Structure 1
Amino acid sequence: MAGEVLSLADCINSACPWSGRPVVPEGLTRYRGRVVGFCNSGCREKFEAAIRAFDAELETSEGE
């Protein structure tokens, strides 16, 4: 959601799933309606890219 401000208080995790380091405000994103966090924007972007790849694969396989 463009312009949406996410809060650490709403984040469901306290450690980055990629690195294990604490989550930071610039590492937050929304996934399936929940706020999830990462230790930096790079880890967040890696996660978002993985989601897009999996979603694309699912769409392709559903059409078979």
Structure 2
Amino acid sequence: MADGLRLADAVNETCPWSGKPISADSLTVYKGAVVGFCNPGCRDKFEKATTAFDSALQGKQD
């Protein structure tokens, strides 16, 4: 989690993976927006997936 992220700033209220409410210890920033997840495991799964897709897309643009 990046320091200083606030639950109130998240663009979502429920975890996109589980559908459960988001948690203050499971926030990240994606494309300039605070995105929340129900637990750090879901957050980390999202970061891993988006990093892989962003890298793949970048490779296609080069």
TM-score (normalised: structure 1):
0.88
| Correspondence for 2:15 | 16
Matched to 1:30, the amino acid is: V
- Provide the identity percentage: 55
The structure that has the greater radius of gyration is 1
Q: Which portions of structure 1, spanning 4 or more consecutive aligned residues, are displaced by more than 3 angstroms? A: none
Residues 21-56 of structure 1: CA distance to partner in whole angstroms, max 9, x if unpaired? Answer: 000011100111111100000000000001110011
| Correspondence for 1:55 | 54
Superposed displacement of residue 59, structure 1: 1.7
Determine helix, strand or coil for the equivalent of 2:25.
Answer: helix
Q: Unpaired segments of 5 or more residues in structure 2?
A: none
TM-score (normalised: structure 2):
0.90
CA RMSD in angstroms comes to 1.5
| Correspondence for 2:44 | 45
Determine helix, strand or coil for the equivalent of 1:61.
Answer: helix
Q: Unpaired segments of 5 or more residues in structure 1?
A: none
